[in-house]
Amino acid sequence: MGLMWARLAFFAGIVFLFHAGYSAAQHRAYMRVTEQEFTGLPTDISVQGLLSLLLAMYGILHIAGDFKEIRANVQLQNKSWETVGNRPTFYTFAHRGRALSPNYSPPKMKSSLEESLTPQHSHQA
């Protein structure tokens, strides 16, 4: 029986909220037609919008049922402390940090590359 009242409260809240929005649009159109300055919504439209929002929230909270606790440690319970920080997707082996090592020696050029880089003088006159 309680679920039926919660659904009714939610439905009524949504209907009243749409009615408040429609009333606000009509009021704005009326202000334009009469060429009056729009300073704000009348109090009855604002109160209807606020109360209908609260009624819809009350209904949806009772329809949804009990909230469950969100526990972040459920996935981490079976892991050791060493494997928690292990993220293989972040492994990078070809980075420029190796150049900062005191034991780093740059790779030597291959002979085919050296030959292509040196100018060749095959024209003899």
Tell me the per-residue pLDDT of 10-69, one tens digit each, with 9 for 90 and over: 999 999 999 999 999 999 999 999 999 888 899 999 999 999 999 999 999 988 877 777
Distances (CA, A) of 48 to 18, 21, 23, 85: 10, 9, 10, 53
Model confidence, pTM:
0.53
User: Tens digits of per-residue pLDDT, 95-109?
Assistant: 777 778 778 777 776
- Which of these, 41, 25, 21, 42, lies nearest to 33 by C-alpha position? 25
